Every structure is written in C-alpha cells, then in structure tokens.
Copies of this chain bind each other. A is one copy, B any other.
C-alpha cells in the first residue's frame, strides 16, 4: 500500500469534525489537509463575533482544546462570564477568559476589514496550526430552527434551550446569497478524498452542502466522498443529531445518515454495533466499512483517520478493503 499522502478535504462542524481533522493532521503533511468548517453557528455576543466551529477546529488542531468539554481551551476560567451574570446579563453562552482573546482578536480584525477566511488564517498562524482551515463562506449564514417553541437562532436552540425543543425544520438564513469561501471549491475539486466528518447532518455539514455548487461537486466526485457516521447504536457521539433525525422523520442510525447523503456519498464508516445495517447502506450504492469509529483517545482518532486514508488508497488502486461490506457479501451472509 502506498504512503498515506494525498490531498484531503474535510467537511467539519465542531467537536466531531475537529477530532477527525486532528487524527488526519497526525498523518498528512499540513499542506495536504484542508478543513472546511461550518459557519452557520456564528453569532454576535455582546458585540464580539464568535465562530464556534472554527474555534473548536483550530483549538483542537493546536492541541489546546479542552479534552473534557471538546470545545474551548484547556484550563480556561470563566470569570468574565460570571461577572456578566452578576451584572444581570444573559450569559448562557460559555466564553472562557482565554477563549475571549480569540473573539477579541477576530472582532478587531473583522472590524478592520478582514474576511472570516483571513481571520481563520491569522488564528491558525498565531496558534501554530499549519493545516488549512477554511470557513465555508465569508458571507453571513445563520442556521435557524423551526421548533415547537417557534423559530430559534442556532445558539438559542443549542445552548440556551439545550436542544430540548422539537425541531420541525432547519434552514440557513442567507444561504442563497452566500458564496463558498475562496479555496473551498478548489479544495473539493483537487482533493484525492473528501471526508464528511462525524458531525450533525442538519446543523454542521448541512450548511456547507447547501452552499451554491458544493453539493454538485460532491455528487460529481462521489467515488472520493467518504463519511464517518456521527451515530452509533441509535445515539449521537455528541449533540442532538439522533433526536433531530427522529424529529425530522429520519431513522437515527448510520442508514439514516446514508440516506441523507445518498446522492453524494461513495463510502460510509459505521461502528460494529451497527453492522446489521451494512447491507441496507450498501443497497444505496454506498460502500460500507465496519470498524470502530469512536474517537475518545488520540490513538482512536489517528487509527480512524488512518483507516479512512487507507481505504481511499486501496479504492484508488482497485484493491479490496478489510472491513468493507459490499451488498453482495452481505447478501451471501444472510
């Protein structure tokens, strides 16, 4: 098998995408890795511009993310936030004192005329991150949810209401006027592999795929598009993906994920606990690889990343891949 070197583009939301990107960053030369990050969660907080997913990806690649929380900076304190609460301000969004420096730097640069892309590049440089981290767009896109409590902004739903409301529809305000950021389409066209990270399909990868022209590129490059399921045994590794899928009338399983990506996915990595779904995934024309997909430890992240890379190399060489369940092999078993 060849060296684990190719251009890889990752579509990422927050924690799940950041973990897989980190695993890939341990294996690839930095210039080979492009992480395309959801900006639908971005919002203004007391005048500061906050880009939660970009920060999670950058902090994780920089090795400073909180290992316990997944988001924010390891060892951060929350004194500023406590003081805001003391002053009677809404402070349900958790901004740490170290984390706040990122938002100040970003807000200052944006007000000085920099684009979100330029700010991300600057944050990468100043945090020693060599991989390329791109926001999906420099234009404002705001993920909103129609729920049984009315239409909510993303952070209202996600943080303030802790994902409790029943979701009826997810939409991305501004998406029709937003263009993919410079470099995004190029990276998707050039990549030897496009990985859809184990992120929420509505809240994290949904906005990226909804950008003009992006879904079409993935459809055209289907044999290079792989996803890691964010769901195993009916549960999401993090966040509300499973319950949202049910609320949206979809099965909360890797098969539901496969259906949402059925027009563009070449291969899906699912956990052994969901092995029984592999034939149904394969029946959608999606190659299904069964292997552990949890990323709790650094080792697990690197092993999963390595497995995804090796699968692509084998596929490009026309070699069989251990763990793959083709629809034929599953039919033979059953």
A residues neighboring B (CB under 8 Å): 44-49, 77, 79-81, 83-84, 86-89, 97-98, 100-102, 104-105, 107-108, 110-111, 126-127
Are the CB atoms of B47 and A127 closer together than 8 Å? no
| A47-B104 in contact given A80-B97, A80-B98, A98-B79 (Cβ < 8 Å) | yes
Q: How far is the CB of A122 from chain B (nearest CB, A)?
A: 9
15 additional contacts (CB under 8 A) given A80-B100, A84-B105, A89-B104? A46-B104, A46-B105, A46-B107, A47-B47, A47-B108, A47-B110, A77-B79, A80-B97, A80-B104, A84-B104, A87-B101, A87-B127, A89-B101, A97-B97, A100-B100
Determine which of B47, B79, B101, B105 lies in contact with A111 in the assembled complex, contact meaning CB atoms within 8 Å: B47
A46 and B49 alpha carbons, distance in the complex (Å): 11
Are the CB atoms of A89 and B77 closer together than 8 Å? no
Contact partners of A86 in chain B: CB under 8 A: 101
Q: How far is the CB of A108 from chain B (nearest CB, A)?
A: 4
A-B contact pairs, 11 of them (CB 8 A): A44-B111, A45-B108, A47-B107, A47-B108, A47-B110, A77-B77, A79-B79, A80-B97, A83-B97, A86-B101, A87-B105
A102 and B88 alpha carbons, distance in the complex (Å): 11
Work out how many copies of this chain go into the complex. Answer: 2
Are the CB atoms of A101 and B126 closer together than 8 Å? no
A127 and B89 alpha carbons, distance in the complex (Å): 12
| A48-B89 in contact given A79-B97, A80-B97, A97-B97 (Cβ < 8 Å) | no
Contact partners of A47 in chain B: CB under 8 A: 47-49, 104, 107-108, 110-111
Q: How far is the CB of A79 from chain B (nearest CB, A)?
A: 4
Are the CB atoms of A97 and B84 closer together than 8 Å? no
Contact partners of A98 in chain B: CB under 8 A: 79-80, 83
The 9 closest A-B pairs by CB, nearest first: A47-B107, A46-B104, A46-B108, A83-B101, A79-B97, A84-B101, A83-B98, A97-B97, A87-B126
Residue of A47, A79, A105, A126 with most partner-chain B CB within 10 A: A47
Residue of A46, A81, A88 with most partner-chain B CB within 10 A: A46
Are the CB atoms of B46 and A88 closer together than 8 Å? no
Are the CB atoms of B87 and A48 closer together than 8 Å? no
Contact partners of A83 in chain B: CB under 8 A: 97-98, 100-101
Contact partners of A108 in chain B: CB under 8 A: 45-47, 89
Contact partners of A48 in chain B: CB under 8 A: 47-48, 104, 107
Are the CB atoms of A101 and B80 closer together than 8 Å? yes
Contact partners of A107 in chain B: CB under 8 A: 46-48
Contact partners of A110 in chain B: CB under 8 A: 47
Contact partners of A87 in chain B: CB under 8 A: 101-102, 105, 126-127
